[in-house]
Each structure stands twice: as structure tokens, then as C-alpha cells.
Amino acid sequence: MNVRSPVLDMLPARQPPQTPLLARLGLAMRRHRGAILVVQWLVVVFYLLMVTLPAFLPLPPEEAHVLDNLTRFAQFLFWGIWWPGVILSTVVLGRVWCGYFCPEGAMTEAASRFGLNRPVPRWMKWGGWPFAAFLGTTVYGQMVSVYEYPKAVLLVLGGSTVAAVAVGLVWGRGKRVWCKHLCPANGVFRILARLSPWHFRVDREAWARSTEPPRFIQCAPMVHIKAMNGAAECHMCGGCAGHKGAIQLAARSPNAEIARLSRKESGGWEAATLLFGMLGVATGAFQWSASPWLVAAKQALAEWLVEREIFWPLDTGAPWWLLTQYPEVNDAFTWLDGGLILAHIAVYALALGGAAWLGLVLAGRMLGETQGWKRLAMGLTPLAAASVFIGLSLLTTGQLSAEGWRQAWPNDLRLFLLFSAFAWSGWLLWQQTGSQAASHGQRLGSVVFSLVGTLPVLVSWWAMFRIW
């Protein structure tokens, strides 16, 4: 006869293991996919209204404000809130913007469900498209003053949206072919999402042990889910959460993904996007309008041209979709203006991006890796993220300044953010080089070379906020 101990009766019954809070949140994302789609399409409708309506309205008068003029409101929404918020959210939350709110992603995915369902052609899979598209849209946006005029917004953002829908109508079936291969922001988002402290973790051992019958997962961004080992490509939609008991939303160190990157996972185009795109072209695009060097160059070249009776470069007859032409508000670019802006951005791209690249090459050689610069470049992600965010924040404070809000402290905060990101990059590079360096001296030297190459970026922002 079995006699049960009264002591055992007093103990609480053993509870099954509880699913962590983040994992439950990931499962909730999957269960409430319908609600997410409703949010996406509300964003799509609002986005289309804000892109199209202001382009058919007269330009706002000088006394117009954000709260009483649709054009001013849309301008502040896109460039004062939307883009800085997207950059920040990608660093903090991963590609939640892509999975939940991006109108182009939602529209290209929806269009692909009714399209021709053709296979993705080989030319579209070229890895350099995100880099080329980022450079092209950034530079072209400066030529037509996309931050300031609604027709330029319709041309740049609206044109990108039309292209996304067209790609969906031809290629893929329920897939985001545009997002994976051609989106101008995809390369930047891939880089920034590596810093996210959240990701959908795949437990390959649990996957192998699972007896759960396979469930079809429609992964719109075309991620190989079983092999997924980071947040770079995942759109954080939650559609795969709980699959075979092996995928769950989990926390991690912001440095974890980049610190363990291998050479095979480090692509040259991604490194080029960070160095020559985010640190080079983007910085040049944000700073040209405040550069005294560009003003001095324009005056000197204009005098030289006039002395030789060469007047066509000073003409303002270019179409508005090629160069900014709004004479009604005394804003019209000459051919000389356009050429100097292109030259300014090109010089920044080569000087800032080239210096950073050279520092990384020297650091890689110190570690005995001829191609190590590609992997080490990802260690500069915090600095690149801060630089892009600072540039976009100038649009925010610039528009607030037009509303009467003028403060000196934002520039101090920007410099603090910049140098904090510089220090973060140093710590991340130190973690990256741990397994390759033969000694602490070699490790320290590679980190120093990597950081010295980025000093021109710091100097350029310091000059803008403290000298110019």
C-alpha cells in the first residue's frame, strides 16, 4: 500500500514551464495578423493622401504653419517625424517598420498576389542594387529638393511606390521581391537591424527534434527561416513565431549579431553601403546647404565664367524634375548649382567613405585578413546610424524652427550622440577582433586603425555645429 506523505500534499503542484513574455508577444503577432494588415492598409491610405494631395496644391505662403497647411503638415510628417523615426525604430526594434507599417512593402506584397507570378530574374538578384538605389535616390532627392517641395516628394516617393507595385505585379506570388532586391532603403535597414536587441531566434536543435507536422509559412521578405541567425533580413512580422516549437521572439545583446559575423556573412556591397553611402553620400547630402566651401566655390566659378562670357551654366532653365525650379518663391537652381552639389556629395563620399575604408583595410591586414575590412565595417554601424539620424534630425529642428521653436541644445545633444556612437563602435570592433587577433596589441591596433579612419566624419559634423 502506497502512503502519501502529508508534506508532499502541502507542496504546490508542479507547473509546466511558462513561455517567456517576449515569446508570447511573438505568438500574439502571429495570431493577430489580421489586425496588423488593417494597420498596414490604414498607413497605405494615409501615405497615398499625404504624397499626392499636396503636389496639386499651391505652394504654401511664408506665414503657413504645420497645423494649418496640408503641405507643411505632410512635409513635417515625412521628413521631420517619419524618416528619423524609421531609422531610430530599426535600431531599437529591428525591421518592425518594414513588417508593420511600410506602405511600399504592403502594396508590393498585395500586388504580387494578383500578378504574373514570374520567377525573379537573375539581373534583379545582383547584390549591388540596394547600394545603387540608395545613392541614386539620395543624390536625386537633393537635385529636386525633395525635403521642401511636394512635387518632388510625389516624384521620388511616389515613383518608388509605383515601381514597387509594378515589380509585385510581375514577379513573385505573395512575396516582397521589391523589398528584398530593389528597395533603396533595404541595404540601410539590413545594417541597422543588426543592432536590434530583439530578434526571432531559431533553435535548430529544437527544430530537428520536433515531431510537429510542418506548417506552410508564407515569408513575404523571402527569408530562409530555418537558416536565419539574425535580424538583418527579418521583417519582424511574427508569421513564423512558434513554428515547430523552435522560433520565438527573444532578447539579445545589441552587439551580438555583428560581433559574431563571419567573413561569409559580410558582403562587400553591404560594407560599401555603410562606408560610402551612410557615412559618405548621406553626410554630404545633409551638409551641402550649410557648407561655406560650396558658397565660396560657387562665387569663384561664377566670376570665372562671367569673365569668359560663358553664361549657360548660370541659366535656371532646367525642368523642375531635373533641378529645383520654383521661381515663385525665389528658389531656382542653375546648372552650376546642380554641378556643385553633385561635386560636394561626391567629394564627401570619396573622402569620408574612402578614409573609413582605408582604416578598415589596414586594420584587416593587421589581423591577417585581406578582405577583413568587409566584416570590420559592420563594427561602424553605431556611428553610421548616429550620423544618418543626426542628419535627418536637422530636418526636424529646421521645420520646428520655422514654427518659432529655436533652441541651441539640439546641437549639443547631436554631438553627444555622435561621440557616444563612436565609442560604441570602438567597443563593438573590440569584440569583433577578439577571435582573430593573436595578441592584445594586435587587437588594439586594428581597432585604432578602424576608428582613425572615421575621424573625418566626426570632424565634418563638428565643423557644421561649432564652426560654420
What is the distance between the alpha carbons of residues 164 and 178, in angstroms, rounded to a whole number?
6
pLDDT given at position 18: 52
376, 450 Cβ separation under 8 angstroms: yes
pLDDT value of residue 11: 44
b or e along 275-301 (b: 16 or more beta carbons within 10 Å of the residue's beta carbon)?
Answer: bbbbbbbbbbbbbbeebeebeeebeee
| CA-to-CA separations, 218 to 15, 117, 401, in angstroms, rounded | 34, 15, 46
What is the model's pLDDT at position 441?
A: 87
Rounded to whole angstroms, how far apart are CA atoms 402 and 72?
A: 10
User: What stretches of 238-334 show up as alpha helix (H) in DSSP?
Assistant: 256-259, 268-272, 282-287, 292-307
Give the separation between CA 195 and CA 191, rounded to whole angstroms. Answer: 8
User: Of 442, 426, 457, whose CA–CA distance to 364 is shortest?
Assistant: 442
Residue type, 337: D
DSSP 27-89: HHHHHTHHHHHHHHHHHHHHHHHHHHGGGGSPPPPTT--TTT-HHHHHHIIIIIIIHHHHHHH
Contact 153, 200 (CB under 8 A): no
Phi, psi (deg, nearest 5) at residue 173: -135, 100
- pTM: predicted TM-score of the whole model, two decimal places: 0.92
Can you give the pLDDT at residue 8?
Answer: 41
- Predicted pLDDT at 75: 94
* pLDDT of 7: 44
What are the residue boundaries of the structural domains of the chain, listed by start? 21-192, 271-310+321-466
Which strand (E) or helix (H) includes residue 168?
Answer: helix 159-170
Per-residue pLDDT of the chain (468 residues; tens, 9 = 90+): 444 444 444 444 444 445 688 999 999 999 998 898 999 999 999 999 999 999 999 999 988 999 999 999 999 999 999 999 999 999 999 999 999 999 999 999 999 999 899 999 999 999 999 999 999 999 999 999 999 999 999 999 999 999 999 999 999 889 999 999 999 999 999 999 999 999 999 999 999 898 887 777 889 999 999 999 899 999 999 999 999 889 999 999 999 999 998 877 778 999 999 999 999 999 999 999 999 999 999 999 999 999 999 999 999 989 999 999 999 999 999 999 999 999 999 999 999 999 999 999 999 999 888 788 999 999 999 999 999 999 999 999 999 998 888 888 999 999 999 999 999 999 999 999 987 777 888 899 999 999 999 999 999 999 999 998
Q: Residue 304: what pLDDT?
A: 96
Which residues, 6 or more positions from 5, have their beta carbon under 8 angstroms from its beta carbon? none
pLDDT at 19: 65
**Rounded Cα gap, residues 233 and 194, in angstroms:** 9
* pLDDT at residue 266, rounded to an integer: 79
